[in-house]
Amino acid sequence: MTNDLSIPASVLIIAQNAEKHLRRCLDSLKAFKEVVIIDGGSKDKTEEIAKTYPNVKFVKNPWPGFIPQRNVSIDNASYEWCFMIDSDEAATPELVEEIRKVVEKNDRTIAMWRVVRTEYFEGAAIEYGHGRSDYQERLFLRDRTRYTGGNHHLHLIDGIDLGKQPHLMADFPRHVRVLHDPDYDLDAMITKMPRFSMLIGSEKFNKGRRVSAPEVIFSFVWTAIRMSWRSRKMGKRGIVLAFMKAYSDSLAKLYIYDLQNFRNIKQSEADKKYVG
């Protein structure tokens, strides 16, 4: 049971083998009346951990891709206001209280609130250059919002791209934050990067993007130099982040090059697997 002081809002999480960080995430969400977890088929202790929290609603839904799974989470929400968070993130107490104020005020002229997510790399918060902590769309009205496109951070409000309706957005103060995985390091980045580079390359290819061999080669050098300058305040961490950004961008372009030369398909396997 939840107490009478709980925030009448639904927190939305899509999970897949999330046992490593899930307790940290759910511990930060105890003030909410409902936390909806849509599980795509975890093989670890995700379900066992989730069900120890009285405000969690655990729903199994075979993984259909990011966009459909995000929308399934909205469909399973019980409350008007929804807060999206990932299983490797945590909400600060200050953010929870700011969300409480928005929900209690219930001003429907603002349909989407943005929150700064603190990014970490090798034990330090990233505040400059590539991967810096920045605003993301997180708190929204359930009946007016859907996820769309090949990027799970794109939203439709009332059926129209949110980017075309900036008057419907507002920002929480910059110091009020979601905290990402504090253990994120080069090993984790290398593990995740090929999948996301493939996804980005696939999206761009399907939208008509084409690249040449020289572009694939020289983009790495140019991006590494440019991002090293932007990330210079991060010192040695900035150098690593800059080169990984160059690697990621080049890998996405290499995937486009591969598709345009060797795969006669309309929709790539990456699209089918990761977007749905």
For 61-86, the pLDDT digits (tens) are 999 888 899 999 999 999 999 999 99
Model pTM greater than 0.85? no
CB 36 within 8 A of CB 55: no
Domain edges within the chain: 7-179, 186-275
d(CA 223, CA 270): 24
CB 112 within 8 A of CB 137: yes
pLDDT, tens digit (0-9, with 9 covering 90-100), for 28-40: 999 999 999 999 9
**Which one is the CATH code of 7-179: 3.20.20.140, 3.90.550.10, 3.40.50.2300, 3.40.640.10?**
3.90.550.10
**192 has pLDDT over 90:** no
- Parallel, antiparallel, or unpaired for β 169-171 and 112-121? parallel
pLDDT, tens digit (0-9, with 9 covering 90-100), for 200-249: 898 889 889 999 999 999 999 999 999 999 888 889 998 998 999 999 99
Residue 150: what pLDDT?
A: 63
Q: Give the other-Cβ count within 10 Å of 127's Cβ.
A: 12
Kindly indicate the confidence band of residue 53, based on its pLDDT and cuts at 50, 70 and 90: very high
Q: Which of helix, strand or coil describes residue 163?
A: helix
Residue 264: what pLDDT?
A: 62
Provide, rounded to the nearest whole percent, the portion of the chain with pLDDT above 90: 65
Q: How far is CA 153 from CA 100, 145, 257, in A?
A: 23, 12, 26
Q: How far is CA 178 from CA 35, 69, 99, 115, 196, in A?
A: 16, 21, 12, 7, 22
Positive or negative, the CA dihedral 205, 147, 89, 98 is positive
d(CA 121, CA 235): 12
Closest of 10, 19, 143, 155 to residue 85, by C-alpha: 10
d(CA 188, CA 121): 10
